[in-house]
Amino acid sequence: MAGLKKGRNKITVSAKQILVIDDEDDIRKLTQTCLEMMGGWQVLTANSGSEGLAKAEANQPDAILLDVMMPDMDGATTLKRLQANPVTKHIPVILLTAKGRSTDKSLVKKLGIKGVISKPFNPLKLAEQVAEALS
């Protein structure tokens, strides 16, 4: 997922960038810390679906971690808008949900998402779960 950037006489590897869209401050901060420290991700955050849509379009992250249950615009609506936008439809999405345990693989395939991570998640395994879903 990391991109290569060619400098004057050297090639550097840029960090993978992930956008975390979640309305809960504590979850956003914990997720950001876990992904940065254990996964080497550059983490962008958004506290609503509408802010997430704008950041996804402007920043073109390598992946999106999307909360399902949010006020105003829920995760399902946000996902539909991401998939309908030609600029963001290619970005892989992983759902973050308290209802994840009951989500079956056919639903994941039907929604066009890369995976589902259940809340509460194990902070020590989050980066690994994200990498596994994206592989």
Calpha distance 52→57 (Å, rounded): 9
Calpha distance 18→16 (Å, rounded): 7
How many domains are contained in the chain?
Answer: 1
pTM value is: 0.85
Task: Let me know: does 98 contact 69? Beta carbons within 8 Å.
Answer: yes
pLDDT of residue 7: 44
pLDDT of residue 80: 95
Contacts of 85 (CB under 8 A, 6+ apart): 53, 57
pLDDT of residue 99: 67
Q: Tens-digit pLDDT profile for the chain (135 aa)? A: 444 444 444 444 457 999 999 999 999 999 999 999 999 999 999 999 999 999 999 999 999 999 999 999 999 999 999 999 999 999 999 999 886 555 556 667 778 899 999 888 999 999 999 999 998
pLDDT of residue 13: 46
Number of H helices, E strands in the chain: 5, 7
Residue 41 maps to which CATH number? 3.40.50.2300
Residue 45: how many CA atoms within 13 Å on its side-chain side?
A: 15
Domain of residue 56, residue span: 4-134
Calpha distance 17→10 (Å, rounded): 21
pLDDT of residue 131: 93
